[in-house]
Amino acid sequence: MSIDKEQLYMQYHDKILGYIIHRTGNVDLAEDLTSDVFVKAYQALDRYDEKKAAVSTWIYTITRNTLTDYFRRPSKMEEIPDDLASNDDIESELINEGLLSDLADALDELPERQRDIIVLRYYHDHPLTEIASMMNISYGILKLEHRKALAALRKRIS
């Protein structure tokens, strides 16, 4: 499948920019890094294989790698975020837009408390101790509900 460069730019520029702004908090930096993403994407276009990943997953991977490279520059004083520090490659089968839908459906079926825990922990990166405080429940109960939520999601998504 050949990807049109212009279409790629039109479809993903704002998503990439918005994501990098979210991760760095710096608009000017985000614009520079977004340009870097497209340079890399255009260079890699002829190697893109739609059987391995959807376009969105592919360009998301390039975006994350660009961010990782940025945080690893010697001049950077701040620590690289944990999820970018991991050397694990993103497995394309772990993330795609269909799975986001599946996750939404699975979360919808959870009791509200478990759903809240999952969103607060994995979208907002709050530690479980902090979530227990936010929800005004004991840490023990929070851990139990967290385990139940993961077990339920494992059945639906994996």
Partner 1 sequence: MEKQLKSLFDFQKFSPNQKLQSIIDDVESRYEVTKLDDDDLEYASAAGVLDVAGIKNSASGPVDNN
- 135 Cβ neighbours under 8 A, 6+ residues apart: 113, 116, 117, 142
Binding footprint of partner 1, residue count (CB under 8 A): 46
Using the rule CB under 8 A, which residue among 134, 137, 143, 148 binds partner 1? 134
Residues 24-63 interacting with partner 1 (rule: CB under 8 A): 27-28, 31, 56-57, 60, 63
- 115 Cβ neighbours under 8 A, 6+ residues apart: 107, 108, 149
What are the structure tokens assigned to 119, written together?
């969103």
By beta-carbon proximity to partner 1, the closer residue of 46 and 88 is: 88
Contact between 16 and 37 under an 8 Å Cβ cutoff? The reply is yes
For residues 82 to 121, the per-residue mask of contacts with partner 1, x marking binding by CB under 8 A and - elsewhere, is -x----x-x---xx-x-xxx-xxx-xx------xx-xxx-
Instruction: Report CA torsion sign: 23, 92, 155, 82.
Output: negative
By beta-carbon proximity to partner 1, the closer residue of 74 and 127 is: 127
CA distances from residue 42 to 38, 55, 58, 90, 117 in whole angstroms, order as listed = 6, 13, 12, 20, 39
Residues at the interface with partner 1 (CB under 8 A): 14-19, 21-22, 27-28, 31, 56-57, 60, 63-64, 83, 88, 90, 94-95, 97, 99-101, 103-105, 107-108, 115-116, 118-120, 122-124, 126, 134-135, 150, 153-154, 157-158
